[in-house]
Amino acid sequence: MLDTNLTGALLGIRGTAPSMRKAGGGVVVNVNSIGGLTAAPGLVAYSSSKWALRGLMRAAAKELARDNIRVNSVHPGIIGTPLAYAPDGSELVPVADFAIPRQATPDEIAGFILFAASDEARFATGAEILADGGFMLGPRRLTLRKVGL
């Protein structure tokens, strides 16, 4: 998990930064996850690697900014791919109570990545773009017990 989610990103940045410097600048966009912003049972290795990716992104953003290289991350929520479903076809993370009660499409997340890489985001570095359908807001239907005064 660490090799894929952290070491791969580090090697990618190290491998491309010299070319970006020669070109006068560039953009790195790391695809992170809501798992890098919160914890979930059973996902210790995944969440740890994504939290570490946040640190890498911020350190690289600071180190490379003077070379006109921006480094940002996109944090997708649940995306409608086979990975979002159990073998029986049920959603691994039910989205009915999200603020936007559906899974994202891969194209929607690609749009966030394209924005982060574009000149429209030229003043952003070290930024974390949340694309989660409101997952981090918590459930829409929150039942609170009334307390009388």
Active site residue ranges: 46
Neighbouring-strand partners of residue 71: 28
Cβ atoms of 104 and 76 within 8 Å: the answer is yes
Q: How far, CA to CA in Å, does 51 sit from each of 4, 32, 48, 58? A: 13, 9, 5, 11
Neighbouring-strand partners of residue 31: 74
Cβ atoms of 29 and 113 within 8 Å: the answer is yes
